[in-house]
Chain A
Amino acid sequence: MFPFQGIVHTQTVKRLKEMHTLTEVETLSGHSDRVWCVSWSPNGSLLASCGGDKSIRIWGKEGEKWICKSILTDGHTRTVRSVSWSPCGMYLAAASFDATTSVWSRKAGEFECLATLEGHENEVKSTSWACTGNLLATCSRDKSVWIWEVTADEEFECASVMSTHTQDVKRVKWHPNKEILASCSYDDTVRLYREQADDWECFTTLKGHSSTVWAIDFDKTGSRLASCSADATVKIWQEYEPGNPECVATPDNVSTWKCVCTIGGYHERAIYDISWSHLSGLLATSSGDDSLCIFSEIHSSDSRNQPQFELVARVRGAHSQDVNCTVWSPTEEGLLASCSDDGTIKLWKLERDEK
């Protein structure tokens, strides 16, 4: 018996499974403590990382090698939990356990701290820039999600404070092309927010995971959301817009999001991060079991309402400790970055196996 919904038993698949191999390309060392997060610049030329050593490192490729180009150390007094690039690649936001968010601007290759956003009561966990670059979202252990508006003169004004989560908020992520924000939390839920009548509101709550939801990521179109959790599963949520052909009810003319697939049985411990490639459509997950997994959607009769995913590659012991973050390169297909409690960042290349 195969206990996991959404995964086809190998015997029922007629065609041969296309296996891939994830090969380590390079290990980047430099952080003196655990590395919490890595983030690709939008054009894929730079990689930002941050961690327990309170610093942010910027890595760039020179020749065939990735080297550390800058170290930003004076921004925070405690762990830097995550970093994210603005869509234009000119700004970098960093969330820190010192309760502040710093925004850095890149001018002539140099980074300078443009602003320090205060307001959260305690540890800031994550930041995300909206597709327009005009909005920045932050979330914190204080259970709140803040939306900041970037004004014309590079100032940050608080546009809303939303306290709908009942626990620590782990991650915020904007929709790839709409001003819709998603957040996930220790309260086991994912929440979606939109602007309504000049104010922001939570318009739907996605319940299904049985433990902390650590990360979320939209697919390229934004009509699907993947979430990963400490319950060791990944869930795929599908948007049903008003007037959808499936006749899924959409109260108040607001899209309904439903879980259409649960992928389980691969990771043995909490899944800390998930990345949905906009180039290949592959899902990468990283976990507390030190491994990385790559999932691919397989052709099925009803891929919208009953998508099916299969494991195409797996690296056990990808790092020697928890893999905190993994993210696909936005420009180079198959290039993946990961970072870990072991203090290293690794770059991986996914290649299809020769038959």
Chain B
Amino acid sequence: MTKGSLVKMKTNCDDTDIFHSVTMTEDVSWQEGYKVGLSEGNKKGFLEGYGLGAIKGIELGAEVGFYTGYAASVLNKHSSSESRIAKVCEAILDLGKDFLNLDPTSEELSLNLSKIKGKFKQLTSLLGIHIEYNSTETNTDKIITF
């Protein structure tokens, strides 16, 4: 029975139907249970989702922070004469800034990250050094390569 029809019944029969509350017990408790369950579920789901979001956010933030921090320090040490290196560093920093303003659910996020990664690879190639971002604390699967 739906809520609308319940209300309708009440107005029609007023309080004369003494069996009403008895016959409706199951329905009423089902509805109450549903409400309580839904709000509990919402809370739990929110906590779980929030936790997952926070973990993923930390992972992504740490990675982007690593790239931009690296680029900033390289940019600091390099004179403007080596223009290509400086340009790549600036590009990484700009992309890093953009990253902060992106909607986390947007596709742009992974696009932006792949651009930063590409620029970072270019930077390490220009500098002639081997360095890779490894998230050692989380997700150990990621660093297994073959």
Contact = CB atoms under 8 A, between A and B. Distances in A.
A199 B118 contact: no
Task: Give the dominant DSSP class at B's interface.
Answer: helix
Contact of B121 (A144, A157, A159, A198): A144
B22 to A, nearest CB: 63
B126 interface: yes
Interface string A228-250: 00000000000000000000000
Nearest to A201: B115
A199 B91 contact: yes
16 contacts: A118-B130, A119-B124, A121-B145, A144-B118, A146-B125, A157-B126, A159-B122, A160-B122, A161-B118, A161-B119, A161-B121, A161-B122, A163-B115, A163-B117, A163-B118, A199-B91
Interface of A: 118-119, 121, 144, 146, 157-163, 198-199
Interface of B: 84, 87, 91, 114-115, 117-119, 121-122, 124-126, 130, 145
Contacts, number: 31
B122 A158 contact: yes
A119 B114 CA distance: 16
A137 to B, nearest CB: 14
A183 to B, nearest CB: 14
Contacts of B121: 119, 144, 158, 161
Q: Interface majority SS on A: helix, strand, loop or mixed? A: strand
Contact of B114 (A121, A158, A160, A163): A163
Contacts of B124: 119
Nearest to B114: A163
Contacts of A198: 87
A242 to B, nearest CB: 26
